[in-house]
Amino acid sequence: MAEDGYVRCRVTGGERLPAESGGSAALCAAIENAMATRLPGMDCNADIAVMSPTRLACRLTVEGRELPEQQQSSVDRPLMRSTFERFAKGLAEQAAELLGR
């Protein structure tokens, strides 16, 4: 995690994630890693709602600024760890853009 920063991740409905995806822990780890890499030292809150095994949404607040809700879905298969990593990198890029970094 980033020095002097924190990433708080909360997942609602994590039981809907496929076990082979790594579940809520893998999802939060992907977000924590992406944020710490792209925006080191920034404070971040990620509130994630898992709507189904193929769809999730995230409300992300970074340094007190909230991004529009971001969604991820998969049409042909359940969400996987690699999906979490791509989603997390996209969140980090959106946050960096919002902060002008």
Q: What is the pLDDT of residue 14?
A: 96
Q: What is the pLDDT of residue 5?
A: 80
Concatenated DSSP letters of 11-69: EESGGGS-GGGTHHHHHHHHHHHHHHHHSTT--EEEEEEEEETTEEEEEEEETTEEPPP
Q: What is the pLDDT of residue 3?
A: 57
Low-confidence ranges of the chain (pLDDT < 70): 1-3
Domains of the chain: 7-96 (3.30.160)
Q: What is the pLDDT of residue 54?
A: 95
Residue 39 makes CB contacts below 8 A (sequence gap 6+) with: 2, 5, 62, 92, 95, 96, 99, 101
Q: What is the pLDDT of residue 96?
A: 94
